[in-house]
Structure 1
Amino acid sequence: MSSENKEDGTSAAIVPRSVARILGKIVAWLLAIAAVLVAATVVFALTFDWNRARPWIDDKVTQAIGRPFAINGDLRIGWQRPASETGWRGWVPWPRFTAQNITVGNPDWAKSPHFATLDQIGFEVEVLPLLAHAIVIPSIDLVNPSIDVERLADGRNNWTFKLASSGGPSTWTLQLRNLAFAKGSVAVSDAQSQVDMQIGIDTLGQAVPLGDVLKEQEASSRTASAQAVGQRGAQQLAAQASAVAAAQAASSASEATAGSGAIAPVASGAAANAKPALTYALGWTAKGAYEGTAISGSGKLGSVLALQGGDRPFPLQAEVRIGDTHLALVGTLTDPSHLAALDLRLWLAGVSLSHLYAITGITLPQTPPYATDGRLIGGFKAGGNEFTYENFTGRVGGSDINGTITYTGREPRPMLSGELVSNVLQFSDLAPIIGADTRSSKAERGDTAKQPAGRVLPAEPFQTDRWKAIDADVKFTGKRIVKNADLPITDLYTHVVMQDGVLSLEPLDFGVAGGTLSSTIHLDGSAAPLKGRFTTSARHLKLKQLFPSVKTMQSALGEINGDAALSATGNSPAALAATSNGEVKAVVTQGTISRFLMEAAGLNVANVVYEKMFGTQDVKINCAAADFVATDGVLDSRVFALDTEDAVINIDGHVDLRDESMDLGIHPHTKGFRVFTLRSPLYVKGTFNDPHVGVDAGALALRAGAMVGLGLINPFAALIPLIAPSNNQPLPCSDLLSQMKQAPSAPPPGKKEASKPPLAGSGAHAGAAAAQGAPGVARKAPPAAGAEPLSPAEAAQYKGS
């Protein structure tokens, strides 16, 4: 190899080494510069007086939120290693920002100059997520926050900020995980909702376990229940709650754990199975007014509110009085990022369930004083939040109530659904639902509506405006009804449906006198006046059980079957009755009834005295029928008659529901020969509240005049007016039953019933008309012994329906 070639090879080897040295120096300088920049940044961050940046920060935030913003105190940034990170991430320090004396201004129209003030705010920012344009704040600590919430009657409010619009969507995201505060206050002034409240929050001094709070609240709620339903009612409620808790514990012990945020509806004195971390650290108090009603309350909260994830339930407790309503709860927010996610033990007590409308917006009926205890579970759903009052127990007046109801927030109206059961129902507790309770009862629940003096039908108007606020689908069962001895009602079932202001009870069933009374009620309150439609079917009502306190009826046999169809308009039960149109029909099939009752109706003096001295016998009922047509609140009898072996009794006249009056004439006709009879027409007159029953004085005067006149001729002839020969003419029972089998009808609400011809056997002297071959009556010749009995098929016409 030549020397020239050797020199070229040496030069070629030197070039790469030179480049490498140069690149190495460049890298070294770059690293040095980076180290210097990092060091300078750290030194700057540690030594820079961030208070100099406050005007710039204040200005940027003010422009962003459209409100005056100011940091009036010290602003600092410190660095610290995150305790929650492990591995190499634990060596990356996080900046911690601290600012003191912060104010957020209010609009010019607000009463207070500031929307919010803070003594101090502190938070950390994770560094590594910043590389992905994500601002992650593990927790914000607030010291003595004060917030003023205000809304005017015209809808303007101070919690809606006019945020400055950007040129396009931001590539940065914000994640806030926890919120912690030690002390604070909130003032609420809402002219639209008529709320004026002051709420204060402070530390408890030490953590209080959830189980201890539950025991304390149970005792306090029992006292509130006793104030509402009495000491005995509160004890019964506690026993009901214990029975429910025992049943739940037997079926699923895991359901009652509080570690997952659940609060089981355990009995008084039992503690929830809570994890140690579930404790209360803050206490709060509230005082103010809602729609002019005083509000006061207190409670407890957890110290840290998790704003992301559902695995850290937030404990809360509250006891609030709103007017005459007491509300208490103990439990958790199971998912604090959605305030509807609840699992609570909830107690309610008050003078009427209807008063909950002002608090919850849920339409409930007027009731006697009540108290309930149950579990409230809430969940967030896309279609609307859902809250379930699960397996609750309660007392309403002297009745128990149990079941589960669910409230679903949906559009256009929320829905209330569920099934309720009363094992022992006091019938008197149903009276407030239709406004039929006493004045003292109405006064206790604050009801200003007064029943007109002397009126029986409830005149309290329906609150149809509330019907349009919510839909409902609720089933109610009263297994055993407690009532006075004169009321032969045994049980109750109804299915309540409310849809867009239309209330329906389909069916409304009562067990009555060994049979059933089944009704459907349809009230359309979507427009004025309210339109009502009613149908009723009575099946197999036993005569003996129908009059349990009437001694002379205890040997009676037979059944009553009937139907009614009515329509009406009006905004109260009394108004609906006063405008009713339709038909009412009833039939008594074969049976027996006391002879004394029949003889008393005929005023046969000798037989009455005889029966009273030597006992009673029974007579057979051939048939009894009643057919009334209602026109504008007036019930006119087309058929009202009773046929037995001994007598035929016809009743005519009318019952006026408009003024609650009646004018009925009772015309007895003896079938057998009677001596010393005062048989004369009777009358029933007066009002529902003050009826009068008596003898037709005119008929008796004529009879007395005949006695005097005949006595002047012959003393024995004076007895002739007291002797009653037998007409021996029965009612045409077969024809009556056949025509009564036709179902009654009612016109549309506000319309009158089309006129119909009277049925066979109608009128005061139907028996005589039948005997003379009245038109339209297919009369069969009666047997010599008296009335014609019903065939088995005729008797079964209503028994089988």
Structure 2
Amino acid sequence: MNQQQQPDRVATQQEQQAGRAPRTIVTPKRLALRVAGALLALLALGVAVGELSGWPFLRQPLADALTRTAGVPVRLDGHFRTRLLWRPRLSVEHLNVGAGGGVEVPHLVDARNIELAWGWDDVLRWHRHGEPLRVQRLRAKALDAHLVRTDREHASWQIGRQSLPQPPRPERTLTETLPRFGAFVVDHGFVTVDDPLTETKLRIDIAGREGDALPDSTLPDSTLPDEQAGYRAAVNGRWRALPLQMKVSAGGALPLLDENPEAPLVPVRIEGRAGAATLLFEGRAGALLGARRLEGKVQLRGPSLAPVGKPLGVTLPQTPPFALHGALTHAGGLWHLRADRATIGGSRLAGEFDFDTRPKTPLLKGSLVGTRLALADLGPAIGTTGTGDPKAAAKKPKPGRVLPDRRFDLPSLRAMEADVQVAIEELAFDSDKLSELRQLRTQVVLADGVLTLNKLQASVAGGTFAGSTRLDSNATPAQWQADLRFATVDIAGWINGLKTPAGTATQPETQSRKALKRRRDEARAGGAQPAKAYLTGTVDGHLKASGRGRSTAEILGTLDGRAHVFLRDGTMSHLATEGAGLDIAQALGVMVRGDRPLALNCARLDLDIVGGIVRPRVAVLDNKDTTIRIHGVLNLRTEALDLRAVAKPKDVSLFTLRSPVTIKGTLGSPNFGVEPRRLAGRAVAAAVLGAAVAPVAAVLPFIDLGDKQASPCESGAAQAAAPSAAPPGTAPDK
């Protein structure tokens, strides 16, 4: 005991002996403890008062702290109340968060009547480690958000300060910056999305709720329970320059706006218009502004396929109205479409396709099948107006011209590559004058701007059709090549325009090989049966040619090549035979007793094609009555006709003009006539004989004794012109 304490102890003992209460001695340590206790009590009282009152005086300090943390201005206006300790939360009448990334928009978020709940540990992880901020609950009765990006480095959603060094990135995604929510409820919101990098400019009117603390929704229906995640939204604007007008039901909104390829998929129902097409999609989706992951059923309708494929970078032709039902998936840049049912005009198709956008040049692979494909439905794809050309009604064809002159969309052939297997049961032509091709099979390959049809084969009227074509869009102008063969095709069964009135009056018969052969044999048997077709028989042929141009007309106008056609086991209408020879007497006799088929000894056509000029090297039809030869020129550049058909009879005719028949004009407007010089010579001779000898002698110049010269078929030259080998798949008649 020190000397200073001794008097205090003595004084204390004296006070106790005197009956007084001892005096408390306050030491500095005790004083410090008492002051600290008082301060703690005052602090506890202040915290309690603050918690009970809602900390109204913290409005501005909190706004300043949020501004420093977010790196953008944050305002808290109007009614304000918060709780900072147990279950921290905040309610404010008006919250405004400025835009980040140096983007000039009014704000990132402007919300009314906000309720916010968070955890301090989540805030620390966000602030110290750069993790996405997790918000336990956020509710807003009204929300206005602007998600705007001007380039890869500047976006309005880039807020927050990263305390740890981050590796350089070409762009920051929504996943890296937007908060996570236990519950996010919006009674009524507007979201503006403006992103030139994805050519997206949308306005989204949205209402609903989401978050990992809410039960996930199934496929959205007309209503959602209050505690279940889900949104209703109206989307208007443009995506990839494609106008959108959609109604969307989704199990969440943020996964749809995410860019992370690992973003969770949420149930989605999308219904509305994309450009001129009508869309219905039911399934799941995520990251629609980035990797675009989705899977579900799809229904698509529209006036043409071309504008639908353009935003996706898929080269599709102009078509008539179409409808598609199937399933669509997309992940990692790979689209997969299963078209269970597709109608394009009168075509009935299906197929399965993969479209890979990851290569520098996108690649389409798959298979196209169908029960019917009408060539008119793909008219613009082959250079015609067709039924799919929206401007077809306004376009007036040039007088007398029939060759398609619509230019091909050659740049689109270089926008993608393709490898598609095609299996069509029936290919219908524009005209009902031609029978359909059956069992069409080919491989469509588009590589480096070159479109090729490989292994092309089909059956038609009991015969086969095979070959390949190639269109090179890299050449200037584009170059087209074809090597096509056909064999044992029943010409009357294929070309319906060859039917006589007697043939068109009968019921349609089957196109089977056996039935067609039976009809040919009946026609060659002769007898009293009427001719049902002006020309019958099986035709074999081969075309090998090439041309250049930007349309079908331009290519044909520069065509170089050769064509061979040989008709076997055929007949020719007796009336047509006499008409070709202008044998009036016999033609009248045929008309009286009825047209009968005459068996052909041979029919052969060899064509030379140079610079679009077609000249028959050999063109002959020979039967027991007449030999008909064709000479002249067909100009494919101008479509002009200058042909002569010369008939040499083999029997005696009492009254025949026997003057060559001429075919002038154009393909669209042919003019049939008679060569005037020979006809004039016969007329002059008849007049002289009638005047000098007797009137009856005037008929002598019109009598033809016939020419029994050898048939052009007897030399074997015509048979030698027949193709030496039939196309693949040819089978003999049965």
TM range (shorter): 0.7 to 0.9
Q: Within 2, Cα distance between the matches of 1:444 and 1:394?
A: 24
Q: Would the aligned equivalents of 1:118 and 1:142 in 2 still touch at CA under 8 Å?
A: no
Shift of 1:671: 2.3
Shift of 1:158: 4.0
Does 2:381 align with 1:433? Answer: yes
Shift of 1:618: 3.3
Match of 2:145 among 140, 144, 147: 147
User: What is aligned with 1:282?
Assistant: 231
Amino acid at match of 1:283: R
Task: Kindly report which structure 2 residues correspond to 1:511-522, keeping only aligned pairs within 5 A, or say none.
Answer: 511-522=459-470
Does 2:184 align with 1:203? Answer: no
Shift of 1:166: 7.1
User: What is aligned with 1:180?
Assistant: 184
User: What is aligned with 1:55?
Assistant: 64
Q: Would the aligned equivalents of 1:399 and 1:426 in 2 still touch at CA under 8 Å?
A: yes
Does 2:98 align with 1:101? Answer: no
Q: Would the aligned equivalents of 2:486 and 2:540 in 1 still touch at CA under 8 Å?
A: yes
User: What is aligned with 1:344?
Assistant: 296
Shift of 1:54: 3.9
Q: Within 1, Cα distance between the matches of 2:134 and 2:428?
A: 63
Deviations 1:340-381 (A, max 9, x none): 332222111111111213433221111111111222122x3x
Q: Within 2, Cα distance between the matches of 1:495 and 1:278?
A: 54
Q: Would the aligned equivalents of 1:209 and 1:276 in 2 still touch at CA under 8 Å?
A: no
Q: Would the aligned equivalents of 1:180 and 1:305 in 2 still touch at CA under 8 Å?
A: no
Task: Kindly report which structure 2 residues correspond to 1:225-374, keeping only aligned pairs within 5 A, or say none.
Answer: 281-288=230-237, 295-303=244-252, 313-333=265-285, 340-374=292-326
Deviations 1:271-316 (A, max 9, x none): xxxx999977321113346799864222222247568998974122
User: What is aligned with 1:457?
Assistant: 403
Amino acid at match of 1:55: D
Q: Within 2, Cα distance between the matches of 1:292 and 1:71?
A: 36
Deviations 1:99-142 (A, max 9, x none): 861322367774x3334444558464584998996958376646
Does 2:623 align with 1:644? Answer: yes
Cα root mean square deviation, aligned? 4.5
Question: Is the alpha carbon distance of 1:647 and 1:277 closer, same or farther for their aligned partners in structure 2, counting shifts above 3 Å?
Answer: farther
Question: Is the alpha carbon distance of 1:318 and 1:278 closer, same or farther for their aligned partners in structure 2, counting shifts above 3 Å?
Answer: farther
User: What is aligned with 2:417?
Assistant: 471
User: What is aligned with 2:445?
Assistant: 497
Of stretches 666-675 and 563-572 in structure 1, the one that deviates more from structure 2 is 666-675
Q: Within 2, Cα distance between the matches of 1:179 and 1:736?
A: 87
Q: Would the aligned equivalents of 1:181 and 1:304 in 2 still touch at CA under 8 Å?
A: no
3-state DSSP class of the match of 2:566? strand
Q: Would the aligned equivalents of 1:331 and 1:345 in 2 still touch at CA under 8 Å?
A: yes
Task: Kindly report which structure 2 residues correspond to 1:56-95, keeping only aligned pairs within 5 A, or say none.
Answer: 56-62=65-71, 68-73=72-77, 78=84
Q: Within 2, Cα distance between the matches of 1:140 and 1:481?
A: 61
Q: Within 2, Cα distance between the matches of 1:533 and 1:328?
A: 42
Deviations 1:724-781 (A, max 9, x none): 23142321552344355479xxxxxxxxxxxxxxxxxxxxxxxxxxxxxxxxxxxxxx
Does 2:716 align with 1:734? Answer: yes
Q: Would the aligned equivalents of 1:201 and 1:285 in 2 still touch at CA under 8 Å?
A: yes
User: What is aligned with 2:512?
Assistant: none
Match of 1:525 among 473, 476, 485: 473
User: What is aligned with 1:719?
Assistant: 699
Deviations 1:417-440 (A, max 9, x none): 2222222444543434334346x8
3-state DSSP class of the match of 2:653? coil
Q: Would the aligned equivalents of 2:490 and 2:536 in 1 still touch at CA under 8 Å?
A: yes
Amino acid at match of 2:446: M
Amino acid at match of 1:147: A
User: What is aligned with 1:537?
Assistant: 485
Question: Is the alpha carbon distance of 1:495 and 1:178 closer, same or farther for their aligned partners in structure 2, counting shifts above 3 Å?
Answer: farther
Shift of 1:666: 0.9
Question: Is the alpha carbon distance of 1:448 and 1:692 closer, same or farther for their aligned partners in structure 2, counting shifts above 3 Å?
Answer: closer
**TM-score w.r.t. length of structure 2:** 0.73
Amino acid at match of 1:560: V
Q: Would the aligned equivalents of 1:451 and 1:460 in 2 still touch at CA under 8 Å?
A: no
User: What is aligned with 2:587?
Assistant: 608
Shift of 1:561: 0.9
Shift of 1:708: 1.4
Q: Within 1, Cα distance between the matches of 2:437 and 2:235?
A: 47
Of stretches 69-78 and 647-656 in structure 1, the one that deviates more from structure 2 is 69-78
Amino acid at match of 2:308: L
User: What is aligned with 1:409?
Assistant: 357
Of stretches 320-329 and 477-486 in structure 1, the one that deviates more from structure 2 is 477-486
Q: Within 2, Cα distance between the matches of 1:538 and 1:75?
A: 87
Q: Within 2, Cα distance between the matches of 1:489 and 1:528?
A: 34
Unpaired stretches in structure 2, ≥5 consecutive residues: 1-35, 168-175, 501-530
Q: Number of residue pairs matched?
A: 627
Q: Within 2, Cα distance between the matches of 1:710 and 1:102?
A: 115
Question: Is the alpha carbon distance of 1:657 and 1:296 closer, same or farther for their aligned partners in structure 2, counting shifts above 3 Å?
Answer: same
Q: Would the aligned equivalents of 2:661 and 2:672 in 1 still touch at CA under 8 Å?
A: yes
User: What is aligned with 1:486?
Assistant: 433
Q: Would the aligned equivalents of 1:519 and 1:535 in 2 still touch at CA under 8 Å?
A: yes
Q: Within 2, Cα distance between the matches of 1:331 and 1:622?
A: 67
Amino acid at match of 2:415: A
Deviations 1:482-541 (A, max 9, x none): 676522124234432222322222244443332233342211223542221122212211
Shift of 1:472: 1.9
Question: Is the alpha carbon distance of 1:297 and 1:799 closer, same or farther for their aligned partners in structure 2, counting shifts above 3 Å?
Answer: closer
Q: Within 1, Cα distance between the matches of 2:466 and 2:577?
A: 30
Of stretches 157-166 and 412-421 in structure 1, the one that deviates more from structure 2 is 157-166
Deviations 1:193-224 (A, max 9, x none): 8765422112399999866749x9xxxxxxxx
Match of 1:701 among 676, 680, 690: 680
User: What is aligned with 2:659?
Assistant: 680
Match of 1:137 among 131, 134, 137: 134
Question: Is the alpha carbon distance of 1:501 and 1:309 closer, same or farther for their aligned partners in structure 2, counting shifts above 3 Å?
Answer: closer
Q: Would the aligned equivalents of 2:100 and 2:158 in 1 still touch at CA under 8 Å?
A: no
Q: Would the aligned equivalents of 2:465 and 2:486 in 1 still touch at CA under 8 Å?
A: yes
Does 2:561 align with 1:582? Answer: yes
User: What is aligned with 1:768?
Assistant: none
Q: Within 2, Cα distance between the matches of 1:416 and 1:543?
A: 38
User: What is aligned with 1:249?
Assistant: none
Q: Would the aligned equivalents of 1:594 and 1:619 in 2 still touch at CA under 8 Å?
A: yes
Amino acid at match of 1:282: Y
Q: Within 2, Cα distance between the matches of 1:278 and 1:345?
A: 27
Amino acid at match of 2:70: V
Does 2:566 align with 1:571? Answer: no
User: What is aligned with 1:780?
Assistant: none
Q: Would the aligned equivalents of 1:188 and 1:195 in 2 still touch at CA under 8 Å?
A: yes
Q: Within 2, Cα distance between the matches of 1:631 and 1:42?
A: 106
3-state DSSP class of the match of 1:357? helix
Amino acid at match of 1:472: A
Shift of 1:387: 2.2
Q: Within 2, Cα distance between the matches of 1:547 and 1:133?
A: 79
What is the percent sequence identity of the aligned residues? 24
Of stretches 288-297 and 337-346 in structure 1, the one that deviates more from structure 2 is 288-297
Amino acid at match of 2:301: A
Q: Would the aligned equivalents of 1:543 and 1:553 in 2 still touch at CA under 8 Å?
A: no
Q: Would the aligned equivalents of 1:670 and 1:728 in 2 still touch at CA under 8 Å?
A: no
3-state DSSP class of the match of 2:415? coil
Q: Would the aligned equivalents of 1:449 and 1:460 in 2 still touch at CA under 8 Å?
A: no
Larger radius of gyration between Structure 1 and Structure 2? 2
Question: Is the alpha carbon distance of 1:98 and 1:566 closer, same or farther for their aligned partners in structure 2, counting shifts above 3 Å?
Answer: farther
